[in-house]
Amino acid sequence: MNQAATTLTKVSLENARILVVDDQPINIQVINQVLGDCYHLRFAKSGQAALDICLSDPPDLILMDVVMPELDGLTTCKIIKNTPEISDIPVVFITSLQKSEEENACWQAGGIDYMVKPVNPLPLRNRVNAHLTLKFQADLLKKLAYLDGLTGVYNRRYLDEYLIQQTAQAKRSNQPLSLLMVDIDYFKQFNDEYGHLFADDQLKQTALSIKKTLQRPTDIVARFGGEEFVCVLPDTGKLGARHVAESIMQNIAALKITHKLSPHQYLTVSIGTATIEAKQDYGTDLIAIADKHLYKAKQTGRNKAI
């Protein structure tokens, strides 16, 4: 078995987070007694409260009551399944409804399982365990499919999805969003002078350095293509983006990778920055702007951020 496959069979559920949605405190208490010792539980007493929690801090699994005032469980589940950034959270319905058409409605709404109240502790624990294992394995597979083979940072596919997600999040919370396009200078000459294998290694070092420079858990770097990387910096305005760009340049310069054919003598990068400030036009094409600024940086001497 290769390493990825071994990891998949050994997912740890220790830090799993479950959201329990039920308008009756007694039901919440029962589930807390059964699962509280094994997992991090959070509780919501309405469909709307559940949606708020999912959007701000998504759980790994949701246990959802069906009958609730205002937003019922079925509608809440449908909204979750139609909201791309939270649609992969599995929803297990726990309900007192027992007719087959009622059960069918739970599957139709996008639930992955259905349990009837009063729940028996052992089956509840076993099913939660099974669903969490599947969820974590799916997450891991997705992550592997989202990584660039050479550098280990995210790939273009992940970048595209993350950017859509973070633009929606920024718009919802009226926060700024920045993007950096980082391109290695004179990399063609570097390849010619030092050979592809060595150049590949330095490409990896550069990617790692950018990754280490990013401080916030929501900041990401992805390989955009060739010797070009893109960083997405949520909740970051123009000044912050500039600051991160300068740090990236400094940290790459500090690697002191000799490049005899560059006027700078070491491997350097040029960076194009782009920002949507808070409450501005969230439809702005950040990649196009960053690309334009990168071009300008290349045209005016390289080894700079614009």
Ligand X SMILES: Nc1nc2c(ncn2[C@@H]2O[C@H](COP(=O)(O)OP(=O)(O)OP(=O)(O)O)[C@@H](O)[C@H]2O)c(=O)[nH]1
Of 186, 248, 252, 290, which lies in the binding site for ligand X, with binding defined by CB under 6 A? 186
Q: Given the complex with ligand X, which of 21 and 290 has the nearer CB atom? A: 290
Task: Say whether residue 164 binds ligand X (CB under 6 A).
Answer: no
**DSSP calls for the chain:** --HHHHHHHT---TT-EEEEE-S-HHHHHHHHHHHTTTSEEEEESSHHHHHHHHHHS--SEEEE-S--SSS-HHHHHHHHHTSTTTTTS-EEEEES--SHHHHHHHHHTT-SEEEESSPPHHHHHHHHHHHHHHHHHHHHHHHHHTB-TTT-SB-HHHHHHHHHHHHHHHHHHT--EEEEEEEETTHHHHHHHH-HHHHHHHHHHHHHHHHHH--STT-EEEEEETTEEEEEEET--HHHHHHHHHHHHHHHHHT--B-TTSTTSB--EEEEEEEE-TTS-TT--HHHHHHHHHHHHHHTTSS-B-
The residue with tokens 């912050």 is 240
Applying CB under 6 A, the site for ligand X has a residue count of 16
Q: Given the complex with ligand X, which of 45 and 292 has the nearer CB atom? A: 292
Task: Say whether residue 243 binds ligand X (CB under 6 A).
Answer: no
Q: Is 227 a catalytic residue?
A: yes
Tell the smallest beta-carbon distance from residue 285 to ligand X (Å): 21
**Distance of alpha carbon 252 from alpha carbon 269, whole angstroms:** 8
Tell the smallest beta-carbon distance from residue 191 to ligand X (Å): 5
- Give the CA count within 13 Å in the CB-facing half-sphere of 193: 14
Of 83, 133, 165, 191, which lies in the binding site for ligand X, with binding defined by CB under 6 A? 191
Of 23, 60, 183, 291, which lies in the binding site for ligand X, with binding defined by CB under 6 A? 183
Q: Which of 227, 228, 246, 277 is catalytic?
A: 227
Task: Say whether residue 184 binds ligand X (CB under 6 A).
Answer: yes
Which of 129-137, 140-148, 196-204, 246-254 is the region at the interface with ligand X (rule: CB under 6 A)? 196-204
Q: Given the complex with ligand X, which of 95 and 155 has the nearer CB atom? A: 155
Which of 29-37, 106-114, 179-187, 206-214 is the region at the interface with ligand X (rule: CB under 6 A)? 179-187
Q: Given the complex with ligand X, which of 74 and 221 has the nearer CB atom? A: 221
Which of 102-110, 154-162, 178-186, 210-218 is the region at the interface with ligand X (rule: CB under 6 A)? 178-186
3-state secondary structure of 17: strand
Of 142, 143, 188, 212, which lies in the binding site for ligand X, with binding defined by CB under 6 A? 188
Strand 40-44, strand 269-276: pairing: unpaired
Task: Say whether residue 156 binds ligand X (CB under 6 A).
Answer: no
Of 226, 255, 280, 299, which lies in the binding site for ligand X, with binding defined by CB under 6 A? 226
- Considering only residues 286 to 305 of the shown chain, the ones binding ligand X according to CB under 6 A are 298, 302
Which chain residues interact with ligand X by CB under 6 A?
150, 183-188, 191, 196, 199-200, 203, 226-227, 298, 302
Residues that are catalytic: 227
